[in-house]
Amino acid sequence: MHDLLLSFGLIILAGVGFRRLRLGLDADTLRQAINVSVFNIFLPALCIEIVSTAPIDIETFLVPATAWITTIGGLLIALAVYTVFGKILHINPAEKGVLVLGAAFGNVTYLGLPVLTGVYGYEAAKYALFFDLLATTPLLWLVGASLASRFGEGKRFELRESLKTISSLPPLWGIFAGIILRLAHVPVPGFVMKTLSMLGDLVVPLMIFTIGLALSFPKVRHAYAIIPAVIIKLVLVPFLSYTAAVMLGLKEIALASCLVEGAMPTMVLSLLIASRFKLDESLAAFIIVVTTVISFVTLPLAIYLAGFLIR
């Protein structure tokens, strides 16, 4: 486990180094290009490969249900905390929006996918995909974007726009395509599966590398205001995820995966949301950095705890 996280750390440091050294290309431009490629090509290919060969069972529905409960629970706790302490902490709406989203939405694919596959094997990849693409990402655009538009200064994000965004997500179509292929027992030619596998193999290292490209330590006002969000994200949300998974009857690797997914640091995509809806981008970047760095201590604890609980 430590070797795995150290490997991830080195790849992240490579991204940080690229950002600092500016090796012929702006880091944010490179990160955007990689993200677009991963999101539209490599991740959908991985979704089709994983889901078309995985059993479609009750876990297909219970893992996303766990993620829905976990994410909504995290949002409600964060909203309550920052509503009560917002004035005490002297934060404005643009900062409050970032803190609430940062406390609830985790990096469940970009970091969660490689961690789950590294710890529990390739068959655990489906849990990361189901947790994110059937729950966290739809909630980000259904609820998170709506909240962001209310806290920020950008245009209000209506339900129609949320549904349009969700319906156009290539990885989600990849999951549905995989489910159809699996249920219809459609034989996929070997060379097609090999192509999907080769494309999918690029997802993990590119995801980890882009985390490094995104990390920087900006100067922010009220840096202390992230403390409740960090505690919610790295302590309370994993507890919520585990509790929800147990209540829904998940066991073994599925249960452990939900706990570990709940323990992921703040979603890197929250930086894009902050930019789109004119929230505090510096604070968004700061909470991503802080939770990601701390997660290299808390994630091994979550993984150890998950292994202990499923024995």
pLDDT tier, 156 (very low <50, low <70, confident <90, very high otherwise): low
Give residue-wise pLDDT tens across range 197-232.
899 888 888 878 887 887 766 666 667 889 999 999
How confident is the model at residue 24, as a pLDDT?
Answer: 73
Least confident residue range of 160-164, 197-201, 226-230, 292-296: 160-164
Domain annotation for the chain: domains and CATH numbers: 2-8+26-309 (1.20.1530)
Give residue-wise pLDDT tens across range 47-69.
898 888 877 788 889 999 999 99
How confident is the model at residue 250, as a pLDDT?
Answer: 92
CA distance linking residue 213 with residue 14, whole number of Å: 8
How confident is the model at residue 273, as a pLDDT?
Answer: 83
pLDDT tier, 238 (very low <50, low <70, confident <90, very high otherwise): very high
Could you tell me which of 66, 141, 74, 129 has the C-alpha nearest to residue 102?
74
Give the number of other CB atoms < 10 A from CB of residue 22: 9
Give residue-wise pLDDT tens across range 4-27.
777 878 888 888 888 888 777 788
